[in-house]
């Protein structure tokens, strides 16, 4: 459905400065996949999406979307894809229903067919009550559902969503996702969905495949579970009195499956947690406890945590996505290596 080869995009900011927003992205997305492109702001997610949707031409490399080349045949790509951008699709002074009808006409439906289709989408996305209201009177969640409806008017087999849930509260995010997932399977064949997000939990819960992008490159590409198992692993925390910390850490280092061991900060009782990164936490914990017992070491408390995608990102880049996500704009100007933005993140 999508195939890119060494796609790059440079933005010339000034005579002396060029931002390499995307530095060679190669992707192969099959029909029916639900792919989340995850990365901090400024990573190149939006620029990649803008190239795939024919909004900006690539600097180099090729991209075939829905069977057509984005540079040679943008008109066919546009006819085939649906796009929900970061901004709103509905004009503030337009009426909700009119926007859907206009969109249907743009895609070649006659007025009657466009009205029928608008009615179906209003119902499917719970907007029937708002149908005759102006767009600027809608709530944030309603506006976003309208954006999705606008993107689905022509039943595209491939739908792009650029940060669909940014700015929505958790309730509205869940609601939007419910609709997106339902619209995905409502089609005759499952729609291919490609979305960008910097919400880890969103990529984790909904996407079947996660493409992690950083500094304009793909740094990981797999299912969320595989990424977590391969790149982060589970975390077993063994709480122990101060006297036993060194011995327990050494013991954990030797245990099978252990990838890394850290000593946590001292607790109020002076004890510390020995944190063990391991491939299979629940499987490793009993063995660690038995070994500690046999060595005469005390363990007062055990926690087993499954990794998050943030652990994956941390493992890949040494930075936490939660910190990097503080940056506001996914603009090319906000270069990830720009010292001013780094400072803002740290502050």
80 near 158, Cβ under 8 Å? yes
DSSP tag of 134: B
**Taking the complex as a whole, how short is the minimal distance between the CB of residue 136 and another protein, in angstroms?**
10
21 near 331, Cβ under 8 Å? no
**Taking the complex as a whole, how short is the minimal distance between the CB of residue 92 and another protein, in angstroms?**
7
Q: Which of residues 33-62 bind another protein (CB under 8 A)?
A: 50, 53-57
When asked if residue 120 is in the footprint of another protein (CB under 8 A), the reply is yes
Q: Which of residues 149-208 bind another protein (CB under 8 A)?
A: 150, 154-155, 186-188
The size of the interface with another protein (CB under 8 A), counted in residues, is 44
List residues bridging with 161 in a β-sheet: 84, 195
Give one DSSP letter per residue of 24-79, joined into a string. EEEEEE-TT-EEEEE--TTSSHHHHHHHHTTSS--SEEEEEETTEETTT-HHHHHH
3-class DSSP state of 5: strand
CA distance 313 to 291: 32
Give 188 or 347: the residue with its C-beta nearer to another protein: 188
Q: Any residues with CB less than 8 A from the CB of 6 and at least 6 apart, and which?
A: 24, 25, 26, 60, 61, 62
When asked if residue 79 is in the footprint of another protein (CB under 8 A), the reply is yes
Give 9 or 239: the residue with its C-beta nearer to another protein: 9
When asked if residue 22 is in the footprint of another protein (CB under 8 A), the reply is no
When asked if residue 16 is in the footprint of another protein (CB under 8 A), the reply is no
Give 76 or 322: the residue with its C-beta nearer to another protein: 76
The contact set with another protein (CB under 8 A) reads 50, 53-57, 75-76, 78-81, 83, 85-95, 98, 102-103, 105-109, 113, 116-117, 120, 124, 147, 150, 154-155, 186-188
């Amino acid at each position: 459905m999508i195939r890119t080869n060494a796609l790059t995009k440079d933005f010339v900011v000034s005579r002396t400065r060029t931002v390499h927003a995307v530095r060679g992205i190669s992707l192969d997305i099959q029909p029916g996949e639900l792919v989340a492109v995850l990365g901090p702001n400024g990573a190149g997610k939006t620029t990649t999406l803008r190239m795939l949707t024919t909004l900006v031409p690539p600097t180099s490399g090729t991209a075939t979307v829905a069977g057509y080349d984005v540079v040679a045949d943008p008109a066919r790509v546009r006819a085939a894809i649906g796009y929900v951008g970061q901004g709103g699709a509905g004009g503030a002074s337009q009426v909700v229903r009119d926007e859907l009808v206009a969109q249907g006409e743009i895609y070649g439906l006659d007025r009657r067919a466009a009205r029928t289709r608008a009615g179906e989408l209003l119902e499917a996305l719970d907007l029937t009550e708002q149908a005759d209201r102006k767009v600027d009177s809608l709530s944030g969640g309603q506006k976003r559902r309208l954006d999705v409806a606008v993107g689905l008017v022509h039943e595209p087999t491939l739908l792009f969503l650029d940060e669909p849930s940014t700015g929505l509260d958790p309730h509205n995010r869940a609601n939007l996702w419910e609709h997106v997932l339902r619209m995905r399977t409502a089609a005759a064949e499952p729609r291919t969905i490609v979305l960008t997000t910097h919400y880890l939990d969103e990529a984790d819960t909904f996407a079947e495949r996660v493409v992690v992008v950083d500094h304009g490159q793909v740094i990981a590409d797999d299912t969320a579970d595989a990424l977590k198992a391969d790149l982060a692993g589970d975390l077993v925390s063994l709480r122990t009195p101060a006297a036993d910390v060194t011995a327990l850490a050494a013991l954990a280092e030797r245990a099978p499956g252990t990838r890394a061991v850290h000593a946590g900060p001292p607790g109020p009782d002076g004890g510390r947690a020995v944190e063990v990164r391991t491939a299979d936490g629940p499987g490793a914990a009993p063995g660690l406890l038995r070994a500690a017992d046999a060595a005469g070491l005390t363990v007062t408390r055990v926690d087993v945590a499954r990794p998050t995608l943030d652990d994956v990102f941390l493992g890949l880049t040494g930075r936490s996505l939660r910190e990097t996500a503080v940056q506001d704009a996914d603009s090319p100007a906000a270069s990830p290596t720009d010292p001013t933005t780094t400072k803002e993140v740290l502050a």
